[in-house]
Amino acid sequence: MNLQSIVRKNIWNLQAYSSARDEFKGVALVALDANENPHSPKYNRYPDPRQLKVKLRLAELNKIDADCIFIGNGSDEAIDLSFRIFCEPAIDNVVIPVPTYGMYEVCANINNVECRKVLLNEDFTLDAKRVLDAVDEHTKLIFLCSPNNPSGNLFETSQMIEIIEKFKGIVIVDEAYIDFAAQESWVSMLDKYPNLIVLKTLSKAWGLAAIRLGMAFASAEIIGLFNKVKYPYNINQLTQEYVLERLEELEEKEEWVGMILDERENLSQKLKTYSFIKKVYPTDANYILIKTVDARHLYHFLTESGIVVRNRNSITLCEGCIRITVGTTAENKKLLSSLDQYAQSVAESNDKNEF
Ligand SMILES: *Cc1c(COP(=O)(O)O)cnc(C)c1O
């Protein structure tokens, strides 16, 4: 792959900002290079702009070199930077199979890049041919969210490989929910596919949504472009320190994932027993998509009982659908008891209608 041919010319030629921390990397006895306030006892110094300690730990966990990792203020930063690196506004386009995560299209719109939406199949499986048919010479990115949000399913490997092998641009595989799926990460395929970017996040399985830390994994050459374009100090010191602490707790994360998978199975089985739920979709993520008889009615009923779910009724292919995050045992019990009440109220109003 000739990377230069698909990168925006201004980005390829860009001279990155060189910060004080970039230019001096030793141990400073007297630091007078960054106009910081020396009197403040804590957090007065700029953080490591390359986040090396965090990256070394992430490299270990993901079995990849540290220079193949970009860290952003959530995966959303990596998504936005992908547009800014590869897509010439008003000229280039991206292709996304829908329904999927809404940020890809929003980022396309913000960057004035055409977003070509291609339908998934009715059961939310991926049709590689349909995706590739939407590609033209200005298509720079294809986003594949697997497991897909909001449907919850992993895409079939063979369909993804067909897209990655035939497409001349960049394929971005979003693995926000990979920890909940019985499948290996695409990070292990980066050596084989130089046009691949894999996104992960600490917001879901790691339980750290509030600190905003997302990752992109790709060739060192692509990550070099992310490093040029990002804000110099995009990950603050508090986050870097706390992440290093939390990343030591791998076993705890795995325990949480185990609990969520047990609850997911239990909840899926129970949801199937309600007559107002027409379908409970199979899921590889920490949420369950259901198709209901009347999504708006059910959504409002649950909201009234203080339970917030995600109404996906107005999304392509998701008519009547609601997405439910798998919670704690206690939270799921509350949901099920509200659903029992809803079933009862539906039955009562049906009785009335018969007179
Ligand atoms: C939640 C989610 C993310 C995570 O975004 P962050 O900015 O890292 O919190 C990314 N992709 C998908 C599909 C998601 O659902």
Helix (H, G, I), strand (E, B), or coil: what is residue 19? Answer: coil
The Cα–Cα gap between 147 and 269 comes to 20
Q: Whose CA is nearest to atom 14 of ligand 1?
A: 176
Q: Whose CA is nearest to atom 2 of ligand 1?
A: 176
**Ligand 1 atom showing the smallest separation from residue 148 Cα:** 13
The residue type found at 145 is: C
Q: Is the CB of 147 under 6 A from ligand 1?
A: no
Q: What is the pLDDT of residue 25?
A: 79
* Average pLDDT of span 165-180: 98
Whether the CB-CB separation of 263 and 326 falls below 8 Å is answered with: yes
Q: What is the DSSP letter of 46?
A: P
pTM higher than 0.95 for the full model?
yes
Q: Is the CB of 76 under 6 A from ligand 1?
A: yes
Q: What is the pLDDT of residue 65?
A: 98
* Average pLDDT of span 279-307: 97
What spacing in Å lies between the alpha carbon of 283 and ligand 1's midpoint? 17
Q: Is the CB of 6 under 6 A from ligand 1?
A: no
Peptide bond between residue 99 and the one before it cis (omega within 30 degrees of 0): yes
Q: What is the pLDDT of residue 26?
A: 81
Q: What is the pLDDT of residue 355?
A: 59
What spacing in Å lies between the alpha carbon of 18 and ligand 1's midpoint? 30
Q: Is the CB of 75 under 6 A from ligand 1?
A: yes
Q: Sheet holding 114-119: strands in order across?
A: 69-72, 214-217, 196-201, 170-174, 139-145, 93-98, 114-119
What spacing in Å lies between the alpha carbon of 210 and ligand 1's midpoint? 12
The Cα–Cα gap between 268 and 266 comes to 6
What spacing in Å lies between the alpha carbon of 72 and ligand 1's midpoint? 12
Q: Is the CB of 214 under 6 A from ligand 1?
A: yes
What spacing in Å lies between the alpha carbon of 350 and ligand 1's midpoint? 40
* Average pLDDT of span 95-119: 98
What spacing in Å lies between the alpha carbon of 79 and ligand 1's midpoint? 10
**Is the pLDDT at 148 greater than 80, yes or no?**
yes
* Average pLDDT of span 165-189: 98
Q: Is the CB of 152 under 6 A from ligand 1?
A: no
Q: Whose CA is nearest to atom 15 of ligand 1?
A: 149
What spacing in Å lies between the alpha carbon of 148 and ligand 1's midpoint? 11
Q: Kindly provide the b/e burial profile for residues 138-169, where b requires at least 16 CB atoms within 10 angstroms of the residue's own CB.
A: ebbbbbbbbbbbbbbbbbeeebbebbbeebeb
Q: Give DSSP secondary structure letters for 291-343.
A: EES-HHHHHHHHHHTT---EE-TTSTT-TTEEEEE---HHHHHHHHHHHHHHH
When the pLDDT of each residue in the chain is averaged and rounded to a whole number, the result is: 96
Q: Give DSSP secondary structure letters for 84-134.
A: HHH--TTT-EEEEEES--THHHHHHHHTT-EEEEEEPPTTS---HHHHHHT
* Average pLDDT of span 208-216: 98
Dihedral over Cα of 274, 280, 283, 286: its sign: negative
What spacing in Å lies between the alpha carbon of 175 and ligand 1's midpoint? 9
What confidence category does residue 18 fall into, taking pLDDT thresholds of 50, 70 and 90?
confident
Q: What is the pLDDT of residue 24?
A: 82
Q: Is the CB of 148 under 6 A from ligand 1?
A: no
Q: Whose CA is nearest to atom 5 of ligand 1?
A: 75
What spacing in Å lies between the alpha carbon of 121 and ligand 1's midpoint? 23
The Cα–Cα gap between 181 and 170 comes to 24
Q: Whose CA is nearest to atom 3 of ligand 1?
A: 176
